[in-house]
Every structure is written in structure tokens, then in C-alpha cells.
Amino acid sequence: MPFLVTLLASVAIHAGTNLANDYYDHVRGVDTSESPGPSGVIQQGLLSARHVLTASISAFAFGGLLGLYLMTIRGWIVLLLGVLGVLAGFAYTGGPLPLGYIGLGDLSVFAFMGIAIVLGTYFVLTGSISATAVWAALPVAALVTAILVVNNLRDIDEDRAAGKRTLATFLGEGATRVEFLLLVTVAYAAVIVGIIAGALPYQAAVVLITIPRVLRVWQVVRAETDRRQLTALGLRGSAQLHFNFGLLLAAAFLVSR
């Protein structure tokens, strides 16, 4: 039961973050009908901006309610993590100083959608934090941040024109591509070092079978300039890599038990 509730709470906060992102990028003029990346429900008139904002608040509220239940199991630390997660999700594009607009989006995603979500789940289930949980969190954090990096690389010119200062707009295209490469390298290096250090089971080496996908995605990120190709092959490829890597890592833990 705690695992299911934690999963639902995480999904709810993630959904609230994405919906808030759609809303605020729309009202600030960053996302338009010509943008290849957004869901497009506002731009196409399928939902009003107000409905999207309401859905975002509802998702955050649902995640918060589930967090209250988890607090009864593990105490105030879980509540603190939940509150920080909701605040970070909203502040990513909302509020007077949105993190995603001042170059802190990558750090925020790494910390909350990677490290905090893995360590928080581990704490809910075990009541403690271990070296194993930390080593498992690092590749998850690196790969989820890599998805954002491809997104920001694709939108770099549009974001600059709209005044959205992502880390990519500060670094430029070349350095942003290097950032992507560093993140995926960190993901695999963390697993290898974790196994050598005895923090991760040797079965975790199964994630190495995803390296061919990394190489395919890197070829796109390294050289592609067409925004729609970056979406179809770079962004979606990075998301699939994150999913497959995470699934294999989770399976490795189950098999090693």
C-alpha cells in the first residue's frame, strides 16, 4: 500500500508540474501554436488556460493529500519532502521568480525529479536512507535531467526571443550538447562505480544493454538542428532511454533479492 500511494503521489506532483508549465509558458508567450514541444491543448483550443491551471492545482492538491497519509507512516520528513516537491514543481515556471526562467531548471529537475523522488520513495518503504538508494538515485536524476536538456536545446532560440533564460540559453548550443553527454555519462558511470563499491548489485550491469540507444540519441542531439527531429528522435528517445534504464535497474534489484 505505501508503495502504491507513493507512486500515485509522485505522478500527481509530476503531472501538476507539467500542467503548470503548460499554463505559465502559454500566458508568458513562450509557447505558441507554432511550438513543436507543448501538448498544444491550450493553443488548439481544446482546453482553456484556466482549465489547465485548475487541473495543475488539483493534481498538486491530490499529491499533497496522499503525502499526508504517508506522513502518518514515516513522520514529518515525508511531509517536508512532499511540500518541497510541490513548491519546486509550481516554482519551476510559476511565481514571481520561476526557476526554469533563471537557469535553475536543470538543477531543480536533477534534485527533485531525480534524487528526492528516489530517496523519498526508499525512505517511505524502509524508514531509512542507504548508500544503495543514493547510487540508484544518481543515474535516474542524470537521465531525467538529460530529457530537459534536449527540450531546452530544441527551444533555445524561441526561449531567448521570449525572455525565458534556461541554462541552455546561457551556455549556448555547443555546451548544452556537452551537458547532455556529461549527464548520460554520469548515469552509466554511477552504476559501474556503484557495483564496484558494493552499493549496487552486480545485476545492475544489465543497464549497459541500453548503450546502443544512447549512441542513437547522441547522434541526434550532437548534430540535428531541425526542431521537429529533435522532438521526435532526441526528446522522445531520451525519455525512452530514461524509462528503459529505470525499468532495468528496478528489475536488477528485484532479481538480486
Instruction: Report whether 138 contacts 186 (CB < 8 A).
Output: yes
The 3-state DSSP class for residue 223 equals helix
154 burial level (CB within 10 Å; 0-12, 13-18, 19+): buried
Nine-digit cell at 60?
498538486
What is the model's pLDDT at position 33?
57
Q: Determine what percent of the chain is predicted with pLDDT higher than 90.
A: 55
- Report pLDDT digits (tens) over 53-108: 899 999 999 998 898 888 888 888 888 888 888 888 888 888 888 898 999 999 99
- Which DSSP state fits 1? -
- Nearest alpha-carbon partner for 148 in 6, 21, 11: 21
Q: Grid coordinates 548489485 are at which residue?
A: 201
Cα 103 to chain centroid, rounded:
15
**What is the mean predicted confidence (pLDDT) over 227-243?**
92
**Domain boundaries defined on the chain:** 1-129, 131-257
Phi and psi at 23, nearest 5°, equal -65, -55
What is the model's pLDDT at position 150?
96
**Is the pLDDT reported for residue 208 higher than 80?**
yes
What is the CATH class of 131-257? mainly alpha
pTM flag (> 0.85): yes
- Report pLDDT digits (tens) over 161-176: 888 899 999 999 999 9
- Report pLDDT digits (tens) over 125-154: 888 889 999 999 999 999 999 999 999 999
Instruction: Report whether 234 contacts 221 (CB < 8 A).
Output: yes
Instruction: Report whether 135 contacts 203 (CB < 8 A).
Output: no
What is the model's pLDDT at position 167?
95
Q: What is the C-alpha to C-alpha distance for residues 52 and 22, in angstroms, rounded to an integer?
A: 8
